[in-house]
């Protein structure tokens, strides 16, 4: 592409049986072993990728100004077998001549992205490097050199700095969920409140009658988009309108997230989907019953993974559904705090439960007493005067 990307490294895929030969070449090139891990990539569901990859070894350039190379050689000889994080297994890091690789942990030198320049991805016996390459999430990442020739998927797009998402299960999950949550966030607040039957849960929101709930709903309507409500952290001595508003906002967000997750579930039920996709969706949905956790997992996968490519000027087709700009969708496409992260001093049991699972209950404070057991003792402090923008 004619561009240099600072902070980039080289990924070398090698079969387990051939790894010692590559280490011998790395030793000749003054590379120092800097650590290893069990997984490669950023997928939510790593089972498929880990099935292909045994482990990943990190290498850094020899740098006599930062550490003693003689000490690195000595450490390599003393620690021939290295712990594979986060698993309990070990790997022997030696060349084809049986020579241990010099070892200097990157953790002692700085951040991995600043220290490590080569990732050696060791593919399991019985699998091929092409099996590992098949589960990349971007086509541009499949560009490779096998020692004889370059293989560039969709070369016209690639050399223009343009790529597209592949059809792996993680991309299907993320795209379906994002389309769903963007659509849900654009719904009318009043229709959502009626769908949730929130007026039935008056005590949950500290209201004696429907008018009390309506005042909180009106405040939410004035915000416009429930995800755009920036709630300032508060410390509450007791329950207050500020706390109950946070409770309402979190309930509505969780409800919309559940609706979007249901779209993902429906995709998995379609007969045209492959068995791999169906199993991946079912496993992902069953990994947690907390809607907020699954939402934040998607955001981490989607934007932390792809952000480095966007910053380098790579255009990713279909990254956002329905031609929605990232700026326009930034309200809901971000990490969302839980009730307990916003409000300190008041507990809200079962905040991840669907609102319909509750028989009119309220958050509690002071040892779990209900708000009806005592008078309200004032409001919130530390920024509790105004909870929304």
Say if residue 154's pLDDT is above 90: no
Say if residue 372's pLDDT is above 50: no
Cis geometry, peptide bond prior to residue 86 (ω within 30 degrees of 0):
yes
3-class DSSP string for 119-148: EEEEECCCCCHHHHHCCCCEHHHHCEECCC
CB-based contact 280:173 (threshold 8 Å) = yes
Token pair recorded at residue 160? 């223009």
> Which runs of consecutive H residues, i.e. helices, occur in the chain?
19-28, 47-52, 69-78, 112-115, 129-133, 155-158, 169-185, 189-196, 210-223, 241-269, 275-286, 291-299, 305-311, 339-342
Entry field: residues in the chain: 389
Say if residue 184's pLDDT is above 80: yes
Q: Is the pTM of this model over 0.75?
A: no
Coil, strand, or helix at residue 49? helix
* pLDDT given at position 382: 33
**φ and ψ at residue 302, rounded to 5 degrees:** -75, -55
What is the tens place of the pLDDT at every residue in 24-56? 999 999 999 998 887 665 444 444 446 788 889
More confident position, 352 or 48? 352
Token pair recorded at residue 101? 């690789």
What is the tens place of the pLDDT at every residue in 286-321? 876 788 888 988 888 777 778 778 877 888 887 776
Token pair recorded at residue 301? 């996968």
Q: Lowest mean pLDDT: which of 199-213, 246-260, 341-355?
A: 341-355
* pLDDT given at position 303: 74
The residue ranges of every structural domain in the chain are: 10-135, 171-381
- Find all residues with CB under 8 Å of 334, minimum gap 6, and list them: 299
* pLDDT given at position 136: 84
How far is 137 from 134, CA to CA, in rounded Å? Answer: 9
């Amino acid at each position: 592409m004619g561009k240099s990307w600072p902070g980039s490294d080289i990924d070398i895929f090698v079969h387990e049986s051939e790894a010692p030969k590559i280490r011998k070449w790395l030793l000749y090139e003054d590379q120092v072993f800097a650590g290893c891990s069990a997984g490669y990539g950023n997928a939510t569901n790593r089972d498929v990728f880990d099935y292909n990859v045994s482990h990943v070894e990190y290498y850094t350039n020899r740098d006599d100004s930062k550490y003693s190379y003689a000490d690195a050689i000595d450490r390599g000889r003393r620690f021939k077998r290295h712990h594979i994080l986060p698993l309990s297994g070990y790997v022997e890091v030696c060349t084809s001549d049986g020579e241990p690789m010099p070892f200097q942990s990157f953790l002692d030198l700085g951040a991995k992205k600043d220290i490590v320049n080569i990732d050696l991805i060791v593919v399991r016996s019985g699998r091929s490097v092409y099996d590992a390459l098949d589960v990349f999430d971007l086509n541009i990442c499949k560009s490779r050199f096998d020692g004889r020739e370059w293989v560039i998927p969709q070369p016209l797009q690639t050399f223009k700095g343009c790529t597209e998402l592949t059809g792996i299960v993680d991309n299907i999950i993320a795209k379906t969920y994002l389309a769903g949550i963007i659509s849900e966030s654009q719904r009318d607040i009043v229709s959502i409140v009626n769908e949730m039957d929130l007026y039935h849960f008056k005590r949950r929101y500290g209201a004696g009658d429907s008018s009390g709930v309506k005042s909180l709903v009106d405040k939410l309507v004035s915000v416009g988009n429930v995800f755009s409500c920036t709630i300032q952290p508060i410390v509450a001595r007791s329950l207050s309108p500020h706390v109950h508003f946070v409770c309402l906002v979190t309930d509505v967000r969780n409800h919309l997230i559940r609706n979007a997750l249901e779209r993902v579930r429906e995709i998995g039920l379609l007969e045209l989907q492959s068995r791999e996709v169906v199993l991946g969706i079912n496993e992902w949905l069953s990994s947690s019953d907390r809607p907020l956790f699954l939402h934040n997992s998607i955001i981490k996968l989607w934007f932390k993974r792809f952000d480095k490519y966007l910053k380098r000027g790579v255009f990713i087709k279909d990254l956002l559904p329905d031609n929605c700009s990232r700026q326009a969708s930034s309200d809901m496409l971000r990490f969302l705090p839980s009730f307990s992260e916003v409000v300190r001093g008041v507990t809200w049991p079962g905040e991840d439960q669907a609102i319909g699972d509750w028989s009119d209950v309220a958050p509690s404070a002071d040892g779990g007493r209900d708000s009806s057991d005592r008078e309200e003792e004032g409001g919130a402090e530390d920024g509790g005067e105004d909870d929304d923008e």
